[in-house]
Amino acid sequence: MIEFRKDLFADERDDNLNEVGQPTRRQDILGHVTGRSPFFDDHQFDGLTHLKCVRSPHHRARIRHVDTSAAERMPGVHRVLTERDIPVNRNTLLALINFGKDDEPVLASGQVNYVGDPVVAVIADTERQARDACAAVRVDYEVLPHVLDPEEALLPDAPVVNETYPNNSFDYHEKYDHQKLRFGDVQSAFATADKIVEARYQMSPIEHAPTETNGCIAVAETNDRIACYTSTQALFFSLGTVAKVLDISTARLHFVGGTVGGGFGGKVDTVVEPLAILGCLLTGRPVRFVYDRQEEMQVSSPRGAERWYIKDGVMNDGRIVAREFRGYFDGGAYTRLSSYAVIKGTAHLPGPYTIPNVSSNVYGVYTNRTPASAMRGFGITGVDFAIECQMDRVAEAVGMDPVELRLLNAYRDGDMKAHRREAKNCALIECMQVAAEKSGWAISDEFKKLSSLSGGGGERAIIPHTVTDEHGKIGSSRAPGNTIPGSGYQPAAAPSLAAAASTTYTAAPAASPMPASAPAPTHAPVSSQPPATQAPPSRTPVRPGASSAPGGTVNADSATRPATPPPSAPASRPATSARPRNNNRFSSLFGTRRR
Amino acid sequence: MTMHSGRGFAAINYPIGMNLGGDPSQALVHSNPDGKFMVTLSSIDLGQGMKSVTRQIAAEALGIPVEDVYVDTADSDTGPHCMGSFASRGTHRVGNAVIAAATEARGVMLDAAAEELEVNPEDLETDGRGNIHVKGAPSRSITSAEACGAAQFKQGKTVSGRGIFLIPTSDVNPETGEMTPVSCFAHAALVVDIEVDDETGEVLVKDMQSAYEVGRALNPKLVEQQLIGGAWMGMSHALYETTEPHYPERDNGPVDFNEYLMPGPGNVVPHHISVLERPAPDAPFGGKGPGEMCANPVLPAMANAVYNAVGVRVDELPITPEKILRGIKANGGARPQGRPGQH
């Protein structure tokens, strides 16, 4: 079932260690398997009370009036909390590392922005009493238009999801409505590529589904302190967040975590602790706030949805010479950690391959859905799905074995990554070789001989002349007349995109069948997508009096920059072979050449 | 009804630690006079084995048996600061902090032993079994318990150490995206074999064969546990899971485990794992965190296998029977692509 390939990289490893490398039994396993490990909910306190929330039934609505009087008179009710009780009712998780603006209330203030947005919290002797009292709270809503599709959210007429970010996208560097990655010149490389391969990928939200739902118990300690037994994955993160929104000293907070019944990233958000601790402060009673399964499924943040458009320029021999991304992280109604995923995802592009021209625009978008947050593989899982499906598409387009195509393009020690740091400690090639060998997936001898340790660097370490642009400044995509979501400028030759963007994605067929008998692709995009969902054919800004030709490149400062040198294989290079031969060395700048 | 065999491949790498750095973790290590060491953290053990891995790292760095080390964590009153258990940062960040703390504590322990043995501390080494002896002269030795007892009762020394690991925060260039995201990467490649039923659209996963590169398997059993569980999660993500089955519409969202689909124990398939270890220079004994990345290759490998089986590209996760059937219908029938890798 499992083998350790100690033969690989053996000279980089000292295997004569005493304790490291031993299959030592876990310190805590006996407690786990005998049911004795204490979880937060195993702490029992006299007079324990229970907290439940009244939640929005609407995607987006103005709160006209909240009437809690009946709920306050219900049996067992100790306290009803509304936004007026929260000392600092605006926070963002990453404020603790000075990233982003405070945008999320603990309890809704004037407006709800997703189904499940908490409006009122009730503390009662039993969970049942708390639920009954929640049902007795009267909230008068004025239902407002909402937006659920991330690309629709970036259109000028889309409702504002989050007033802190009125453009429905996270602000990057106080300048752009997205994070840019620019390396080389993708447009020129597309023009000289043998084939263009384009596709659109999407991942729906995914639940962490921990056995133990998000929860905590807050209880008064001596010396005016509050202890909080919690399922958090990040003890001091949660402690700092609570101190901020409740405006109390961290010295008054004692957080106890430990054994967690499944996290997977879903217990970083600190959504239960602030209300439980506030309830404890206001009532003097121990307060337990635990999500039920329905809340865990639909209210606790999921792995957010992502949508990616990838366009590759590839030579007939399988070398990918240009790769362009447009990505949308659907953050839901509030930022939480999605802003971070955008940058982490950007750093990951173009995947573990050395591609000489890479460009991406990645957006953190607000929509009227449950705020998304971290989950196992955060920022990477969705785009890895897109990249690795795309690699198979590219392999098919050039008639190459998909494993060999990946090996040909794989990154190696010394290569320059698109985020401009040298690759080191690589092992992608070896993983592929081992997986292919053990599964009987035949690859040619030349690919069996490749190594992460050799063939990298040199020309592959050069940072190419890079075309930059200033498109997508904050607010530009929502400017009147803009019709390409997120682009910040008008299409040159896509007059139907406006209508398509507002209708296509919900109506698109669930599957994107690609005919198996498709003829060998030529320069035409290899794409199974309806035309309206393809990447815009041109991103040339419309200037008064300027004619913008389709396929033109975007280069706002082209007038001040020297002409871009050819980034990819010279046209004279014969592209007759679908597979490189022995002794060919991949060069990211000048194509394959003989050693 | 026909069952079509399909085989798919994917390869990935994964960044270890919080993107852009700026995420410190601390560790404290101290010994009792009987030579039993306590590692104090505030990091969270999510079931991944954080406590066990840091315990082994501490024992290795101290040069004493793992039985003499215990890890206490997750109390903000006693544990020093840690950003938390996420972003595959536990092993890398906390492990490095533990090495720093354990190394400092070891230094005091060797000083105490040297004073008792009347030698230079530089001439001492540990045997990993609780003894400290003069290099090349194993008979001139003292136990770690005796050294720690002497430090406490005779010499007035604290056998203790402090550790922190911090990668300074990296800037991000707004124009080019230039940045220093992380310092090391884990790797994986995976082959999945499936069968697709062209009448129901259901996918039956038969077998997975993978290679995961983890830097160093600090505890091979914990690595195995993570890789098996993570690949299972990847399979589940690929074929079943979503809170919004009609995304971007929000209707029909599941609210419990009757509606939120995941493969059951009967769907756990044989998974043949090869572990590669290329130590990362700045990782604790080279170990990278395998926890997050192990799910990632399964999703695209599954989509590629479905295409290989029936000629339908499902580009939207999860790969449900409905999407596969719609694709088969649009193609006018299943279009098997033939077993790959047969040249």
**Tens-digit pLDDT profile for residues A162-217:** 999 999 999 999 999 999 999 999 999 999 999 999 999 999 999 999 999 999 99
| Residue B291 forms contact with A (CB below 8 Å) | yes
In this prediction, residues A54-83 reach a mean pLDDT of 98
Q: A594 to chain B nearest CA, in Å?
A: 25
pLDDT of residue A486: 59
Q: Are A230 and A257 spatial neighbours (Cβ–Cβ below 8 Å)?
A: yes
Distances (CA, A) of B82 to A240, A269, A513, B13, B93: 12, 16, 48, 26, 9
**What one-character DSSP code corresponds to residue A156?**
T
Q: Is the peptide bond before B80 cis (omega within 30 degrees of 0)?
A: no
pLDDT of residue A482: 75
Q: Are A372 and A200 spatial neighbours (Cβ–Cβ below 8 Å)?
A: no
The chain B residue lying nearest A9, using CA atoms, is B278
Give the closest residue to A365 by CA, choosing from B105, B280, B248, B130: B248
**Tens-digit pLDDT profile for residues A235-250:** 999 999 999 999 999 9
Q: Which two tokens stand for residue B146?
A: 């005796």
Residue A579 or residue B79, greater confidence: B79
The type of residue at B94 is: V
Counting Cα atoms < 13 Å in the Cβ hemisphere of B300 gives: 27
SS3 A78: strand
CB contact under 8 A, B341 and A509: no
Rg (CA), chain A: 27
**Tens-digit pLDDT profile for residues A436-451:** 999 999 999 999 999 9
DSSP labels, A301-342: --BPPEEEEEEEEE-TTS-EEEEEEEEEEE-TTS-TTHHHHH
Q: Is the peptide bond before A352 cis (omega within 30 degrees of 0)?
A: no
d(CA B255, CA A54): 17
In this prediction, residues A258-277 reach a mean pLDDT of 94
DSSP labels, A236-257: HHHHHHHHHHHT--GGGEEEE-
DSSP labels, A157-203: TSPPS-TTSTTSB--BTTTBSSEEEEES-HHHHHHH-SEEEEEEEEE
| Placement of tokens 């022995």 in the chain | A582
Q: Are A591 and A315 spatial neighbours (Cβ–Cβ below 8 Å)?
A: yes
Q: A590 to chain B nearest CA, in Å?
A: 23
Give the closest residue to A325 by CA, choosing from A360, A363, A353: A360
- Spans of all domains in chain A: 42-144+208-298, 150-202+304-470+565-594
3-state secondary structure chain B: CCEEEEEEEEEEEEECCCCCCCCCEEEEEEECCCCCEEEECCCCCCCCCHHHHHHHHHHHHHCCCHHHEEEECCECCCCCCECCCCCCCHHHHHHHHHHHHHHHHHHHHHHHHHHHHCCCHHHEEECCCCEEEECCEEEEEEEHHHHHHHHHHHHCCCCEEEEEECCCCCCECCCCCCECCCCCEEEEEEEEEEEEECCCCCEEEEEEEEEEECCCCCCHHHHHHHHHHHHHHHHHHHHCCCCCCCCCCCCCCCCCCCCCCCCCHHHCCCEEEEEECCCCCCCHHHCCCCCCHHHCCHHHHHHHHHHHHHCEECCEECCCHHHHHHHHHHHCCCCCCCCCCCC
CA torsion sign for A266, B297, A366, A144 is: negative
Question: How is domain A42-144+208-298 classified at the CATH fold level?
Answer: Aldehyde Oxidoreductase; domain 3 (3.90.1170)
Phi/psi zone of residue B6: left (φ > 0), alpha (ψ -120 to 50 degrees), beta? Answer: beta
Query: Residue A586: what are its φ and ψ, rounded to 5°?
Result: -75, 125
pLDDT of residue A495: 34
The beta-carbon neighbor of B247 closest among A205, A253, A262 is A205
Alpha carbon A496 to chain centroid, angstroms: 29
**Tens-digit pLDDT profile for residues B243-292:** 999 999 999 999 999 999 999 888 889 999 999 999 999 999 999 988 89
**What one-character DSSP code corresponds to residue A541?**
P
Chain A CB contacts of B168 below 8 Å: none
Q: Centre a 10 Å sphere on the Cβ of residue B234 and count the other Cβ atoms it contains.
A: 29
What is the percentage of chain B residues whose pLDDT exceeds 70? 100
Chain A CB contacts of B286 below 8 Å: 12-13
| Residue B318 forms contact with A (CB below 8 Å) | yes
pLDDT band at A1 (very low <50, low <70, confident <90, very high): confident
d(CA B336, CA B312): 9
**Tens-digit pLDDT profile for residues B321-333:** 999 999 999 999 9
**Tens-digit pLDDT profile for residues B144-198:** 999 999 999 999 999 999 999 999 999 999 999 999 999 899 999 999 999 999 9
CB contact under 8 A, B174 and A172: yes
The chain A residue lying nearest B303, using CA atoms, is A389
pLDDT of residue A222: 87
d(CA A322, CA A466): 13
Answer yes or no: is pLDDT of B302 > 50: yes
Classify domain B25-165 by CATH number.
3.30.365.10
Answer yes or no: is pLDDT of B117 > 90: yes
Does the domain formed by B3-16+183-331 have CATH 3.30.365.10? yes
CB contact under 8 A, A440 and B15: no
**Tens-digit pLDDT profile for residues B3-35:** 999 999 999 999 998 899 999 999 999 999 999
CATH classification number, A150-202+304-470+565-594, choose in 3.30.365.10, 3.40.50.150, 3.10.310.30, 3.30.420.40: 3.30.365.10
- Contact residues, B window 144-173, toward A, CB-based 8 Å cutoff: 169, 172
Alpha carbon A584 to chain centroid, angstroms: 38
Helix or strand holding residue A32 (H, E): helix A29-33
Q: Are A336 and A371 spatial neighbours (Cβ–Cβ below 8 Å)?
A: yes
Query: In chain B, which residues fall in CATH 3.30.365.10?
Result: 3-16+183-331, 25-165
Answer yes or no: is pLDDT of A537 > 60: no
| Residue B217 forms contact with A (CB below 8 Å) | yes
| Placement of tokens 């041109």 in the chain | A538
CB contact under 8 A, B46 and A233: yes
pLDDT of residue A477: 80
Residue A490 or residue A472, greater confidence: A472
pLDDT of residue A489: 42
In this prediction, residues A284-308 reach a mean pLDDT of 97
pLDDT of residue A484: 64
In this prediction, residues A555-573 reach a mean pLDDT of 36
**Tens-digit pLDDT profile for residues A349-378:** 999 999 999 999 999 999 999 999 999 999
The chain A residue lying nearest B324, using CA atoms, is A511
Answer yes or no: is pLDDT of A570 > 60: no
pLDDT band at A485 (very low <50, low <70, confident <90, very high): low
d(CA B131, CA B116): 13
The chain A residue lying nearest B317, using CA atoms, is A203
Chain B CB contacts of A255 below 8 Å: 75-76
In this prediction, residues B90-112 reach a mean pLDDT of 97
Chain A CB contacts of B254 below 8 Å: 207, 297
CB contact under 8 A, B86 and A265: yes
